[in-house]
Amino acid sequence: MKATELRDMTEVELSKKLKDLKAELFNLRFQHAINQLDNPIRIEAVKKDIARVMTVMAQNNAKKS
């Protein structure tokens, strides 16, 4: 996911995306713990996506202030 795609989203869409990414991260960590994860690099990618979403949300909040 690119930051430019995230900047085009509304606040509600960003919140939903963040919730979905956190759920995915939880599931990936669980799979990793029981050695059923095929691609452990996906965990890092999801973490970075979460950070991107949170950054865009913070930027949007700063613009409103």
**Token pair recorded at residue 41:** 């690099």
pLDDT tens-digit readout, 22-41: 999 999 999 999 999 999 99
Q: Are 25 and 64 in contact (CB under 8 A)?
A: no
Task: Return the pLDDT at 3.
Answer: 86
Query: Is the pLDDT at 1 greater than 80, yes or no?
Result: no
pLDDT tens-digit readout, 32-65: 999 999 999 999 999 999 999 999 999 999 988 7
Pick the CATH number of 3-64 from 2.120.10.90, 1.10.287.310, 3.40.50.300, 3.30.428.10: 1.10.287.310
Domain borders along the chain are 3-64
Angle between helices 11-33 and 41-64 (to 10 degrees): 160
pTM, entire model: 0.92
Question: How many CB atoms within 10 Å of residue 6?
Answer: 20
Query: Is the pLDDT at 17 greater than 90, yes or no?
Result: yes
Task: Return the pLDDT at 27.
Answer: 97
